[in-house]
Chains A and B, each alone.
Chain A
């Protein structure tokens, strides 16, 4: 892959992630106190691509599956935290965890879509899963591999 193609792929991913994150910022009513840091979102994407490249070299594999893609991408977004608070006055406590919430929403919607399950109709089990995921993102230790295990388990269980 030449530099031009690679840059194009990274720009596409940036555009996609920026669109999703921005939509959630607005839907969460956080538009007046939070915004996306372009440099940090870009860094998360580069870190992710580099991590995936190292993984392929180490494992000797040519392609990676969806579980790895979701896990590694979510991990680096959670590490880099591209959503930044720009105004602290009057924000709700949950507003301090926008990255954790938004990345959980994005991960859940991708996983359900990949599994062929509708995300538009209400599902109490999904809400429990979502809360557990956010709790883990906020308070527990996790790695790319632990996220991958969780996602693989989800795909196997459905």
Chain B
């Protein structure tokens, strides 16, 4: 089945089983490996991308439902919030193994686009679906607050 969607603003056409999760289309068909496979059941958030600006789990989003959709991945995310988040992540040396961080960056960006000055409770609510086995959560929290400051400045 041929499906056309926009990935990071570029129209892309793929010919795959419509049940294929978006995750595997991005990684194996489009060779965009920044979006990670962590659990396959939408429990860890490593595969987070944005669909029309909303964070979604690409491992449980099927390509057959995405004809015409606009998808943003870690390779293409930009704008004020994304730049602030990625700068804060580097400034505070957030990543350890780093495997979950694409998803964390996408989720944090979506949070700040919606809530530019999040409280700790907002951060808990927005980020609880994104697992980090290195437990970098303390730095992720600090980096989100720092990114919020950067967006103000």
Partners in one complex: no
